[in-house]
Structure 1
């Protein structure tokens, strides 16, 4: 047996077994090479397709951005396609190279022996399709991002290119006694210069918004990464990564759309601003344009809006509060959420300590200082109908730019009373009698509108039923018929016959369907006899009736038809109230108005209501007879429900066909009150006439209005447009007080942000009374403080300067508790005597 040296091949060639092994090995290598080539071809084709699609996509996107962007997109697509081609070609050549140089030679007469495949090389071939896919996945987003960056740069807007829309100018609205009770529109204030910036404001805004403002170059990568980390770990957007510079360019040069393109443009513009403006100028520009809530744009507007003074006079705690608003101005506006604004101000003070802007001692002192708001916390919901009227009137009287202050005719005490009586009466009887809406206008005999209720809920419907709704007046229109008759020789003692009457094709009927025969005009007017009014109008002529209505201020269309005598024309409640005020005043027309004066930034008023010129005097005798007839309606006619003990009252009821509208316009020596009740869809009520709910609403109002006016506040001179005396419209609030918009647990218990407060002297009621109180308090701030000498327990609370417990008890919303002071016991006694609220149930 021959020995075999394992390190040398056999001289006599391979054995058959070796040959078979090599053949098998060669076939295996060949099949692997074929698989690799097939995979390479598929990957190369996919890469070329992807490259072409990318080129088309980027080219399409860039066409909107300019030729440069189009070229870049096309070049990117072509480069990607060439790269894919080279990679695919390399895969096709791989197996041929592996066979060795001899295999590649076409003239080699004898093929070289097939070498065993290299396992490492075969693995690399099998890995190349995966590598290509990974490369495509990485390259595609990068190319897309590069295209988006290029497109964003090409479409950059100019700096300062955003011009704010000309919105409604800011109105600060005062009541007739000078109390500010509402604001509307966007406050712009004055543009501040560096000398006007309060000492701590710059430090406060930098501490809370952009601590590295002085050191970064417009974009802060560290702050951006920190915000991304906190938002990711917090499961939502908890912190923004924009610098003050970025916020400034967004406010002045960009839209507020939340897109990646806008963020890229924001960064480009921030870099440009940092290169052309100083840090102080950027900060000042930002503070002059930032939104601070409640319609205030810019620091000076916010300072005047919330604190009633220019920005230069801001204290440290006030500066901290304003600095804290810019992150969430609508949510944290102190007029709506004082507690949240105060908590945010404490956070700002803490960040100022951390940044070294102030010491911990200064921060603690600032937290204990009283912050006083000098504007109302929220516009009382019911006054919005009146504010809509004032806004249009102010624009007509002084159509100028800039913030203005309007002194109105509104008496806040009477307004609150009007809202209360309408809400209580309609809540008690509206649903049962299928009456969905009510409106009220209160006017003095000079035409000043003292209160207005345009509907039951302004938030549900802004349609003002006192000024916009035109409805048939019914028998309310008989005022013009009888006044015309008295002026032409008829008297209240003149007798006409209540009998079947036909005028042309028209046959008027009485509501009772019966006839009473002969009767004097006073009784016919008091009983609202239709046939007598129709005969009277036919006698004096419909044109004469129309002329009288025009003299008294009715401007709606009045058709010359016989049925006009019974109120077939459509008029507004304000028109009819104005007409009845003319009879009370004795001179017509009365000028119904809502504005006393308008002031701008200059000392000289923009508008000052001139002294009222006497209108055309009504004939003395005719006026006296008309007033006598109006009083007869209340004394013993259809308006008996309007009688008030110890007070002379006159008025007239009106009811339209099928009880679609019910009216009552009544008067005392000082006031004229118009009331309408009905449904917006003109459906019938459940037999509600003018002597029903409308007359009761009049009585509810006037029997308490006299007391309200007697203890009313001193009014500044409207004739001289005197500004309101310097005082706090909202009481000063320290840490011991609780203020905010509460939730109603019951009529004696409120909840403020999780803290429960019991009203002193009130045993609360739930159910409908609690729901009624919740509607009254909706979006209105309540301020609660401990009673004098009490450290804990029940609190006294105020709303719009009035004691809330007293209002609740006087409305019959609760019973007085055993610890109620004398003033609350008196309020309960008043509700008992009037059978108001819960006392109605105990008759």
Structure 2
């Protein structure tokens, strides 16, 4: 009995010990318990947030009167109002006034479960999360109509989880406070459809010219399709894109069952007539360029503002007339005009802003042709050339490239001034080859060219594409004496009450080239207008400028300045096809003249500073020195050694080096040719220190000197294999080794 009692006690003790459950069951139980607890807490928190948000929401009347967007009044430099930009609101349409087809189209494309969800679409959210986890694509649009309304009225478009959470809470609160019909009415009267139009009625009037109560099925489909991307599908910007988007909306309506597939396919878009926008002129090219700069100039600001600009209304009108009157049929034109400080006085980006708001003055990249030679000659002048230096216009080949002049003729020996005035391609090629094509590209960048530049030999003829505003800026820098100019269009920004938010501060430009280089290029530019290819740009006062024409007459340019105003004109086709008869010296130059006659009419006549104040290293000996004692001169042999003709004179009448050693005898003297008196002439000595050859070169008379700067480098057809005569320079001024018209 005792043993049995012991076993019973052991059995009872074992049965009271806890049984260990599997780990996975414990984990699942914990997850369920904690998940339920967290869900309950979340629901309590969400319900509390919705309750308090709903209490804080304005009433329906207040929401109807609220407006979106910022009003901007743009003023000219004289204070005159140019244009008023900002939100445009049509008549408020009640739910019953809005055509059913418009309501159905909007719901089908934006939120087809609008009538079923409580403000947030759980099915859409689940699908978005699934897509983001199973593919590489991030979750796409999951905002319901109610969420979009909450964002448009109360929030901004910042992408963040915080903003998304607030948007959901607001949407749930809106659904608790207002009916579905009220929410849809608010949405259709407040949603942005592009072009400044908020609401269905404003969009209908803007795009189709009639109230929103008269919308057809095709028009409703187009308007409903604008919500996704107003700028991409705007009927006034791209009719085909708008119609294509409208057809997508119709297919979604058929899928939602609001119309049949047959009805969707039979909708006729050919009857849709897009209304012409009013008040859209060339001023809008300027405002489209200037106003985006407000994002950098101002802190975040949503209140109405006034923007005071640099635009001159009279000059803008004159610029528009000048382009319209001279642009060839089927072509486009652009014009930019800058004051001496960079202020944009006029800007024309095309012939018709309504049909094409593409700004060719600031965005289009086109080849400048010979207008690019500005940078070639700037580099040459900085390297030591002057307008009076002589070059030879003759066939030239550089790395297999052989440029041709207009008319395929060659002028022979001419000076730099004439070569530039008549736009000689062979000379530009020689100069570019001598100074280096990379140097020319660097000069262009220095003067404000922002587009990509190639450094192949043909680049000297303007094969790199540029913008009109950049080229105009470069010429303005020349007008400013070689000082940089920064184009700007906004003078100041104020609130409607007059509080100053921003004011432009004038900054002195940096020096790009020495004054003598700017004076030299101005000399060349002035000659081009006076006697060269740009005579059509004459306006009765000093004008400096340059023409540009590309191959097959695809582009025509004229850029120039007078009395502190710099203007650039471009003409051509958007598709870059040839324009018969187009050249820079005709239509663009005439448009420049027509505009500039108005632009400078009230300005005093200004003469150009073309006086070359050369640096000491470029200065020539004075006349008195040139006629000094012949014994004051020396020459160098083929090895660069200095030879003094007076050393040893009277001993053996042989020239000697400065150390007194004798110049090599007849057997060692190189052949200088017949003029040199060397072996080729039967004489055993170098040429005399003073002879016709020396005097010609020293006084600039030797225009046919083979040592002249005539492109006698690699590939130059005129290069001679014989050795050049020794260089002769005046002894008292050993640094002055150049004479006018000659480069030794």
Question: Normalised by the size of structure 2, how large is the TM-score?
Answer: 0.49
Rg: which structure is higher? 1
